């Protein structure tokens, strides 16, 4: 009698586990495929807009934001940038205002960087799982600038309404990490209003500069990896 | 007698019951799987932060803040920046009269000459495949690429490899970039990377040419590089709330990535 019951339970358990794993595997595969698809659709769409010479910078920014909003989860990015401690200290209105400012700050700098890639060749890697728990996916893209390969990684996080970007890494530099240390530095010394004021002034100033840049015309390239070396030449100029 | 009957009853019904249960629960298996996946995406504040504590947690910021030389670094950063704004950038803008593709070619040629640095560091890191690729690249680009002006190896044969330096070699062997250090007139670096420049300089053929020519060559090399990059550099400065910490963090993150590659 006991044997019979254990067989039934065994069958039931195997059945359950098997059914689960097959389904989970398929779900995982389709998640990776969906993320790849999303990146391959979004990146060219953004570059198309950047390439439009007749369009004003401001308009480009808004158009790009329209494309990115369904793919990026800006609220999450903003939250992660402040971190648990500081996000919790904000009132609800402040949180809303912060998300808004953060998006503007991000928009300016992302577009600034993306412009350098606008006319470059882009290759897509495969999407892969990031970390444990199958909740994050990493998608590698490669941009060839002056024959050197630059890696841009898009990181997705599982949300109720699908996979959303929560961070971008350009040549190892994470947007969230670098913004986080900027913001937290201000918050440690001063208060939230000061931080908001600082971001606001950056965003406004940049708007003007972007417009100037458009007038100036041509855009030049290369990656930040090299900007460190840029200063190398100080040495030589001094020597002369 | 009663027991026997119960036994029979159970025996008779258990197997079909088992099958029935299996059928009923089969779809539940997937439903549970989906439920669990769905639960993962809980958007509660705590859940979000927990999932990212490793990635962006306080430890990262803590380690990034290990900057005991900060007061000195800030002063030196400002000195360098003044030099950049008043001397180097104007010089680079004037130099930019030369067409961009020519400047890119010059940049390639300078990088090509540094082949001994790359190949030595490839080997010190035990990466003999890249050492081989770099050797082939050097041979091809020096000949077909007209002294390295054109990256023929990358264009025609898709042969690419990382340009490794001694700082990365030390990183690979466990000596991490560590303490940030702004070098006078050179820019953002770390104590380890600054030391790494010394063996790299010995491996750079350019350093074996006669003194004055050497200075000139280095000046042209750097001016050329800057002329290709100053706009990116300016943009990064623009978006920074604090230029020094921003550029420092970018440098450190980028170095860390290069070591792990």
CB proximity B22 to A under 8 Å: yes
Residues from chain B contacting residue A178 (CB–CB below 8 Å): 246, 249-250, 253
Residue A80 pLDDT: 92
By CB neighbour count within 10 A (0-12 exposed, 13-18 middle, 19+ buried), where does A218 fall?
exposed
Residue B43 pLDDT: 46
Which residues of chain B from 119 to 148 reach within 8 Å of chain A, CB to CB? none
* pLDDT, tens only, B193-203: 999 999 999 99
Residue B163 makes CB contacts below 8 A (sequence gap 6+) with B111, B114, B117, B118
The answer to whether the Cβ–Cβ distance between B28 and A16 falls below 8 Å is yes
Statement: residue A220 has pLDDT above 50: no
Test the B interface: residue of A102, A135, A159, A181 with most B CBs within 10 Å? A181
Give phi and psi for A206, each to the nearest 5: -65, -35
Identify the bridge partners of residue A138 per DSSP, sorted by sequence position: A128, A155
pTM over 0.95: no
User: Nearest residue of A to residue B86 by CA position?
Assistant: A234
Select from A136, A171, A219 the Cβ nearest to the Cβ of B231.
Answer: A219
Identify the bridge partners of residue A140 per DSSP, sorted by sequence position: A153
User: Nearest residue of B to residue A105 by CA position?
Assistant: B239
A219-to-A123, B41, B94 alpha-carbon distances in Å: 21, 40, 16
Residues from chain B contacting residue A227 (CB–CB below 8 Å): 229, 232-233, 236, 247
More confident residue, B10 or A26: A26
Statement: residue A222 has pLDDT above 50: no
Residue bearing tokens 């989906």: B34
User: If pLDDT is split at 50, 70 and 90, which confidence band does B94 have?
Assistant: very high
The answer to whether the Cβ–Cβ distance between A112 and B235 falls below 8 Å is yes
Q: What is the DSSP letter of B98?
A: S
* pLDDT, tens only, B5-61: 555 544 555 445 444 444 444 444 444 444 444 434 344 445 677 778 777 765 444
User: If pLDDT is split at 50, 70 and 90, which confidence band does B4 have?
Assistant: low
Identify the bridge partners of residue B130 per DSSP, sorted by sequence position: none
Two structure tokens written together for A85: 């401690």
Test the A interface: residue of B60, B65, B105, B187 with most A CBs within 10 Å? B187
Residue B34 pLDDT: 42
The answer to whether the Cβ–Cβ distance between A198 and B41 falls below 8 Å is no
Q: Cα A110–B239–B69 angle (5° rounding)?
A: 125
With a pLDDT cut of 70, the percent of chain A lying above it is: 77
Test the B interface: residue of A123, A135, A147 with most B CBs within 10 Å? A147
């Amino acid at each position: 009698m006991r044997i019979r019951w254990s067989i039934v339970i065994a069958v039931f358990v195997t059945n359950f586990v098997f059914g689960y794993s097959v389904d989970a595997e398929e779900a995982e595969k389709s998640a990776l495929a969906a993320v790849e698809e999303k990146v391959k659709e979004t990146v060219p769409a953004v570059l198309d807009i950047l390439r439009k010479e007749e369009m004003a910078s401001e308009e480009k920014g808004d158009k790009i934001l329209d494309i990115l909003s369904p793919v990026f989860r800006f609220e999450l990015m903003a939250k992660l940038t402040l971190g648990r401690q500081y996000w919790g200290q904000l009132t609800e209105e402040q949180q809303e205002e912060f998300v808004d400012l953060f998006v503007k700050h991000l928009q300016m700098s992302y577009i600034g960087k993306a412009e350098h890639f606008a006319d470059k060749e882009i290759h897509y890697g495969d999407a892969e799982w990031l970390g444990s728990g199958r909740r994050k996916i990493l998608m590698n893209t490669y941009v060839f600038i002056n024959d050197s390969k630059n890696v841009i990684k898009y990181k997705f996080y599982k949300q109720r309404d699908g996979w959303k970007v929560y961070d971008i890494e350009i040549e190892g530099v994470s947007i969230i990490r670098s913004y986080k240390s900027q913001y937290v530095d201000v918050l440690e010394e001063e208060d939230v209003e000061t931080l908001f004021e600082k971001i606001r002034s950056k965003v406004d100033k940049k708007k003007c500069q972007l417009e100037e840049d458009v007038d100036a015309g041509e855009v030049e390239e290369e990656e930040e990896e090299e900007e460190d070396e840029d200063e190398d030449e100080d040495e030589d100029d001094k020597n002369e | 007698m009663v027991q026997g009957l119960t036994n029979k009853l159970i025996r008779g019904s258990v197997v079909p019951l088992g099958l029935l249960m299996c059928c009923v629960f089969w779809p539940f298996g997937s439903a549970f799987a989906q439920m669990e996946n769905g639960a993962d995406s809980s958007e509660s504040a705590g859940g979000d932060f927990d999932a990212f504590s490793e990635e962006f947690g306080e430890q990262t910021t803590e380690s990034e803040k290990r900057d005991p030389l900060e007061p000195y670094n800030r002063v030196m950063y400002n000195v360098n920046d003044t030099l950049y704004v008043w001397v180097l950038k104007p010089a680079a803008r004037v130099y930019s009269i030369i067409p961009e593709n020519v400047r890119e070619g010059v940049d390639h040629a300078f990088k090509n000459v540094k082949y001994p640095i790359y190949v030595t560091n490839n080997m010190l890191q035990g990466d003999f495949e890249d050492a081989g690729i770099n050797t082939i690249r050097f041979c091809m680009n020096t000949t077909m690429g007209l002294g390295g002006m054109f990256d023929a190896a990358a264009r025609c044969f898709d042969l690419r490899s990382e340009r490794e330096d001694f700082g990365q070699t030390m990183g690979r062997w466990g000596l991490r970039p560590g303490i940030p250090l702004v070098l006078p007139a050179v820019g953002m670096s770390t104590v380890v990377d600054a030391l790494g420049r010394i063996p790299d300089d010995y491996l750079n053929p350019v350093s074996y040419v006669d003194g004055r020519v050497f200075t000139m060559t280095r000046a042209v090399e750097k001016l050329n590089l800057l002329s290709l990059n100053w706009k990116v550099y300016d943009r990064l400065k623009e978006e920074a709330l604090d230029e020094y910490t921003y550029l420092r963090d970018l440098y450190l993150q980028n170095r860390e990535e290069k070591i792990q590659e």
